[in-house]
Amino acid sequence: MNIAIVCYPTFGGSGVVATELGIALAKLDHQVHFITYKQPVRLGLLNPNIHFHEVSVPEYALFHYQPYELALSSKLVNTIKKYKIDLLHVHYAIPHAYAGYMAKKMLAEEGIDIPMVTTLHGTDITLVGNHPFYKPAVTFSINQSDIVTSVSQSLKDDTLRLFDIKKEINVVPNFIDVSQQKTSFTDCQRELMAKPDERIITHISNFRPVKRIPDVIDVFYNIQDAMPAKLLMVGEGPERKEAEKKCRELGIKEKVIFLGNSNEIDKILCFSDLFLLPSEKESFGLAALEAMVNRVPVISSNTGGIPEVNAQGISGYLSEVGDINEMSKNAIRILENDTTLEMFKQNAFLEAEKFDVNAIVPRYIALYEEVLAIF
């Protein structure tokens, strides 16, 4: 198949999933065309089946807001025609499904019919898309998609509750390439980050309020009170400055390392003992799955789709959002004993294996084939 993928090229989960999907499809000998405003961060272009088309939006002084949707839909029309694309897969409804719909309409004028698959990722539904400013356009473009998928049952339920959706929503969970983890890292270089007796706790996110960064620090505060420990904070975002201030105020700044955005997530997770994800909302929690496949147990909130990924008492523990005490107790319970920690590490990996790329990507391909059969 000749597939066009539209996504955000940044460190966010939706862009990562779209990129990994494209890479997996390319390995299966499909031609994959990424169409976005920058080369996706996790995309190496070394595969001959992968192509990248940049959407440029020329600055024009009259425009207070530069019209990205317009540039994207035009780029879609041109690319789909030039490369004879069979199918369009847009990740994150805003504004990609909207731009995709416009491209479909323009192409139809020229006698070209192309199916559009829209994957809902989370904040496009629960946080942003749900706002009255966007809701009619988001509802419309989901309903106009030929196939709709969501990354968890919880996100499907939220979508049906928040929007008037007429289309069937197919749940296709996010995935991970387990074989990469088995073969990639044998030398963790743990000693670069912590002393041998210290536990390493990690948090990775875009540091937005929804991630509840202060909870990460509070839970870590209790952990380091009980045992020697370091906290690695990976990512960039609006909450980072406040988080650094809080660490200084609590007197734990020497024990917390802010690493910024990283392309070496696997290396960091390789020497981590515990992952913290106390989010307010999380449609899936790809970061938790990435931790688990690296044998890192997860202490998380029980919100959204996280319970579909982190198995209570097996790969970690889940608590009510904001329950710092319970999260801290559970974290210490996992970390205070080597045997318990080892058991949770093994179980985290076994749970992650359920989301292997080889199990999940065929479900997308089946949906592609289903829709192409009627086009």
Q: Under the rule (CB under 6 A), what is the footprint of ligand GMT? A: 12-15, 17, 92, 121-123, 151, 174, 206, 208, 210, 281-286
The least CB distance from residue 171 to ligand GMT, in Å, is: 12
The least CB distance from residue 248 to ligand GMT, in Å, is: 26
Rank residues 307 and 329 by Cβ distance to ligand GMT and give the closer one. Answer: 307
Q: Is 207 strand, coil or helix? A: coil
The least CB distance from residue 21 to ligand GMT, in Å, is: 11
The least CB distance from residue 212 to ligand GMT, in Å, is: 11
* φ, ψ dihedrals at 36, nearest 5°: -160, 180
What is the 3 state secondary structure string of 136-182? HHHHHHHHHCCEEEECCHHHHHHHHHHCCCCCCEEECCCCECHHHHH
Rank residues 151 and 194 by Cβ distance to ligand GMT and give the closer one. Answer: 151
The least CB distance from residue 282 to ligand GMT, in Å, is: 4
Rank residues 43 and 80 by Cβ distance to ligand GMT and give the closer one. Answer: 43
The least CB distance from residue 211 to ligand GMT, in Å, is: 7
**Amino acid at position 264, single letter:** E
Rank residues 76 and 277 by Cβ distance to ligand GMT and give the closer one. Answer: 277
Alpha helices (H) along the chain: 13-27, 68-82, 93-109, 123-126, 135-144, 153-162, 178-183, 213-226, 240-249, 265-270, 286-293, 324-335, 338-353, 357-373
Rank residues 286 and 352 by Cβ distance to ligand GMT and give the closer one. Answer: 286
Rank residues 229 and 292 by Cβ distance to ligand GMT and give the closer one. Answer: 292
DSSP lists the bridge partners of residue 3 as: 32, 87
Each as own residue / partner, the long-range contacts of residues 140-144 (CB below 8 Å, 24 or more positions apart, any chain) are 140/98, 140/101, 141/93, 141/97, 141/98, 141/100, 141/101, 142/93, 142/97, 142/118, 142/167, 143/167, 144/97, 144/101, 144/104, 144/116
Read off the DSSP letter of residue 333.
Answer: H
The least CB distance from residue 113 to ligand GMT, in Å, is: 28
CA gap 186, 203 in Å, rounded: 22
Rank residues 3 and 17 by Cβ distance to ligand GMT and give the closer one. Answer: 17
Burial classification of residue 84, based on how many CB atoms lie within 10 Å of its CB (0-12 exposed, 13-18 middle, 19 or more buried): exposed
